[in-house]
Amino acid sequence: MANISKKVSWSGRGDDRGERTPLLNGAEDGKYNRHVLNFVFQSLDYDNSENQLFLEEERRMSHMGFRCLETRRWVICGLIGFLTGLIACLIDIAVEKLAGYKYSAVKQNIEKFTEFGGLSISLILWAVLNSAFVMVGAIAVAFFEPFAAGSGIPQIKCYLNGVKIPRVVRLKTLAIKVFGVICSVAGGLAVGKEGPMIHSGAVVAAGVSQGRSTSLKKDFKIFEYFRRDTEKRDFVSAGAAAGVSAAFGAPVGGVLFSLEEGASFWNQMLTWRIFFASMISTFTLNFFLSIYHGKPGELSSPGLINFGRFDSDSVQYNLYEIPLFIIMGALGGVLGALFNVINYWLTIFRIRYIHRPCLQVMEAMLVAAVTATVSFAMIYFSNDCQPLGQDNTEEYSLQLFCADGEYNSMATAFFNTPERSVRSLFHNPPGSYNPLTLGVFTLAYFVLAVWTYGLTVSAGVFIPSLLIGAAWGRLFGILLSTITSSQSIWADPGKYALIGAAAQLGGIVRMTLSLTVILVEATGSVTYGFPIMLVLMTAKIVGDYFIEGLYDVHIKLQSVPFLHWEAPPTSHWLTAREVMSSPVTCFNRVEKVGRIVDVLSNTSTNHNGFPVVILSFLQPGKICGLILRSQLIVLLKHKVFVERASSRLSHRKLQLKDFRDAYPRFPPIQSIHVSQDERECMMDLTEFMNPTPYTVPQETSLPRVFKLFRALGLRHLVVVDNENRVVGLVTRKDLARYHLGKDGLEELHLAQT
């Protein structure tokens, strides 16, 4: 191990407090060490346990039974899409109403005091309304469900990667998420609705697919077969895709987003089911919005976030513009990396000093008030007045100090919801903004967006990123038109606004294929597919040189044992023997109940998987199976003891339904009473253990172990010697210990504090 340059520690608490795990490591005591990772995150079981109960159930199932299961999967995906679309519709209507009331009140106040003086009252009104909305949303998140903070995309990525994040897919989280994002957007923060929509779709999928609500303690006795991590994972992938589709009106983009950013495991039938859920989500949103707007049957709205369609005359580009697009992509990568670096250190500052809920609410209110103040100051001091044309589509245009028949161009960007500002930057005619307005707006909104992301509010980063990029992209196009003699070549600055928006968002989140399709579907500009992809790839390459994408940065800050696609380079010399955990706690095929209870009650280890071995005298036992903590809990709860079976005291034979009924919140071992006499009983694990667990020889290289573990979605990988004796166990944390740092391969030791 001498080639490993650096050693730091994993940290966690050995007690059973996983449900209270802070979102970010160290949030409870205000301290943060970026070299200490959280030990309490557990893995999900994405590998089916093919024990005797499972095999007997499959043997009893007819061909028609399997067809019915497949039909139910499609029905569940349809329900996921429908409910996600309804939630998107609710968010859109609520934001439109609340933002409309706020901007109308502020506009009337500004118009009233512009002529007679006293605009400071308008500023105070704007700041108070912003702070009030944000305060309500922040209180809901900080005091009732902290896991509803942020976009939720990092948490969903972790869940699909195989990490159990506490409370991330609960009904309470969904309710606070939806309520919080409505307050955040209506409160004028530099946030978007797309991230919370993705999280909301995932929560809907996790709940619908189980046919019950553990939060409400209501079981509808349907979809019981899907109560396991493997099935639930696939439906959560569909929910995330449905959220993207509802947000942008991009069903194909939703599928690709779920594939590129979320799902670690994929197959062809899953692709079609996810696409079906995405289509239903978009259709549901458009259908109910058309009814709300009094135009039933007109499914014209592309999604929750409407960028508008580019007409055929504005979607042309020339080959000699491609180098310019590449330059814009590189600029987006640099600005995105700067955004991520600043936000990284700002988040660490929040962990250390703003870790109490009351302080988090106060910070959110401060940002809301500052956002209103900066917006008002920019509008007040701007002299960019544009003529108010007959086809003007600005809903909250402000005249302020402009002449009659004109409006303040800066107000178009600031005095609006972010997605409407993006739409105006994309589609307003040339001459709608002067360069100074766009430059000042880009700088101010960049600072506000960096400060806002990471607040204790429900918020996404897509729309702020697109707005920043659209502003400097349009500025880029205007500057090109001023330095070239031929005005017709650079006639449409909206084209460069779109390219700049793609570059900025790509530089922050580092998405490529899915983001290309999302932008193409959302804007209807198929012609720009190639330039957008080129820009996104350039932004990713340049940004990755400096720092990881924003979601990966926050996953690290959350101290999650996230497994990337490949093992760290230069790790082939490490073997399973060097990375495994040992010694391993094993059980005999027929084990004493007292020992099982003692092992499960041992809080210093808190193991979740146990190899079952054939007893060998004075030597490690030969493996014959693997059994999980959750299975042992159910067996103890139902008193499945050998003595009870032989004396006919057991009521019935245990079935898979008993395990599914206990899923996912298996009772803690402390809640199960085992008498002293029962401790002397024996438990036969043969029928319930997985008799064919995955094993590797102890000389297997780390990349091979990593590939097997990640590709199959394993939770435990048993390491054996040449005689099939158990010598160690590889878990997610053992693999996540190793990563490539500045000084080469770094090892992080597992430690409990």
pLDDT in tens, 366-394: 999 999 999 999 988 888 888 876 655 56
Higher pLDDT among residues 316 and 345, named by residue: 345
pLDDT tops 60 at residue 33: no
How many domains does the chain contain in total?
A: 2
pLDDT tops 50 at residue 16: no
pLDDT of residue 432: 83
Give percent of the chain above pLDDT 70. 87
Q: Is residue 338 part of a domain?
A: no
Helix, strand, coil % over all residues of the chain, rounded to 5: 55, 10, 35
pLDDT of residue 740: 77
**For 569, which DSSP code?**
T
pLDDT of residue 109: 87
Q: Which residue has the tokens 């159930």?
A: 57
CATH number at residue 153: 1.10.3080.10
pLDDT tops 60 at residue 585: yes
Q: Is residue 348 part of a domain?
A: no
Give the count of beta carbons closer than 10 Å to the beta carbon of residue 15: 12
Half-sphere exposure of 46 (CA within 13 A, CB side): 25
pLDDT tops 50 at residue 1: no
Which tokens hold the place of 653? 């034979």
Residue type, 570: T
Q: Is residue 547 part of a domain?
A: no
Domain interval for residue 677: 576-747
pLDDT of residue 430: 83
To the nearest whole number, what is the mean pLDDT of the chain?
85
Which tokens hold the place of 306? 């409407």
Of the residues 293, 316, 332, which one is the last residue of a structural domain?
A: 293
Backbone angles phi, psi at 219, to 5 degrees: -115, 120
Which tokens hold the place of 98? 């609340």
Mean pLDDT, residues 7-32 taken together? 40
pLDDT of residue 37: 52
Of the residues 242, 267, 293, which one is the last residue of a structural domain?
A: 293
pLDDT band at 25 (very low <50, low <70, confident <90, very high): very low
Geometric angle at alpha carbon 346, from 345 and 350, rounded to 5° = 115
pLDDT tops 50 at residue 137: yes
Q: Is residue 675 part of a domain?
A: yes
For 481-496, what is each residue's pLDDT tens digit? 887 765 555 567 888 9
Return the CA Rg of the chain: 28
pLDDT of residue 49: 87
CB 200 within 8 A of CB 87: yes
pLDDT tops 80 at residue 445: yes
Distance CA 147, CA 560 (A): 14
Distance CA 142, CA 295 (A): 39
Lowest mean pLDDT among 196-205, 466-475, 659-668: 659-668
Of the residues 273, 293, 313, which one is the last residue of a structural domain?
A: 293
pLDDT tops 60 at residue 678: yes
Mean pLDDT, residues 317-339 taken together? 93
pLDDT of residue 560: 85
Q: Is residue 461 part of a domain?
A: no
Q: Is residue 287 part of a domain?
A: yes
Tell which phi-psi region holds residue 575, choosing left (phi > 0), alpha (psi between -120 and 50) or beta.
Answer: beta
pLDDT band at 170 (very low <50, low <70, confident <90, very high): very high
pLDDT tops 80 at residue 726: yes
Looking at the DSSP bridge assignments, the partners of residue 684 are 590
End-to-end CA distance of the chain: 24
CATH number at residue 740: 3.10.580.10
Distance CA 55, CA 175 (A): 39
Backbone angles phi, psi at 387, to 5 degrees: -65, 140
Give percent of the chain above pLDDT 90. 49
H helix runs in 301-434, sequence order: 322-353, 357-381, 409-414, 418-427
Higher pLDDT among residues 701 and 397, named by residue: 701
**Mind giving me the DSSP string for 600-635?**
HH-TTT---EEEEEE--TTSPPEEEEEEEHHHHHHH
pLDDT band at 306 (very low <50, low <70, confident <90, very high): low
CB 42 within 8 A of CB 689: no
Q: Which residue has the tokens 């820009």?
A: 535
pLDDT band at 407 (very low <50, low <70, confident <90, very high): confident
pLDDT tops 80 at residue 294: no
Q: Is residue 319 part of a domain?
A: no
Q: Is residue 655 part of a domain?
A: yes
pLDDT band at 647 (very low <50, low <70, confident <90, very high): low
Higher pLDDT among residues 47 and 204, named by residue: 204
Which tokens hold the place of 95? 């934001």
pLDDT of residue 737: 83
pLDDT tops 60 at residue 77: yes
pLDDT band at 570 (very low <50, low <70, confident <90, very high): confident
- DSSP three-state, residue 739: strand
pLDDT tops 90 at residue 712: no
Which tokens hold the place of 164? 């159990």
